Structure 1
């Protein structure tokens, strides 16, 4: 399975469906912290992103952020990936900053029991 900057087609299908459920079926949710766990270890060297790969990762976040007025919408990624995803958001986000999700530090590895 490929991880950032690439997104495996099988994972992409699952990833998009999870966000579709949040978007369409759980319309009353206004306070959410969504954790993306299990990303590969990041060595700290800059990632060579391709624009469509960047968009594949953040498009669901963008759609969710635009869908309603949020009290809190946080996307949690492992600490080493936060700067990379912050760059992706800065380059690609179409949601105005005040309405955008917040990127936050999440789990650095597989949570216990996975």
Structure 2
């Protein structure tokens, strides 16, 4: 890596500065504060009231393949200007050619 922008949009070009920034960024990101530990404990207590078994109806809804409308809405909601997925197609191409490729996508997903 030759250059990295920090949170203040400054260019870091020296290897030591880049490594220092990355180290501190992730250390801060994953640091547990007293509040975050308390929040996790509160969430754990709340989860004790959640049923741990999925009903037949919930299972059916969770496992059925999406329909054409759900797939269209999902593609429309995907963020633009992101790296393409495993298929190599950016979302912009998928949206532009949606009328031509939608049925093939739907058949692939439903199989």
Normalised-by-shorter TM-score class? under 0.3
Greater RCO, CA 8 A, separation 6+: 1
TM-score (norm 1): 0.18
Higher helix share: 2
TM-score (norm 2): 0.19
Higher strand share: 1
